[in-house]
A = this chain, B = another copy of it.
Amino acid sequence: MKKDSRKPVDIKRMTRIFKALSNENRLELFLEILKVNETCFETECAECFITDIMETLSIGAPTVSHHMKELTGAGLVITERKGKFLTARINDELIRELSDIFYRDKS
Contacts and interface: CB of A to CB of B under 8 A. Distances in A.
A38 interface: yes
B41 A12 contact: no
Contacts of A19: 18-19, 22
Interface residues of A, number: 31
Interface stretch (A47-55, A80-88, A99-107): A99-107
Given A38-B3, A98-B102, A99-B103, A15 B11 contact: no
A38 to B, nearest CB: 7
Interface in A11-34: 11-12, 14-15, 18-19, 21-24, 27-28, 31
A92 B15 CA distance: 21
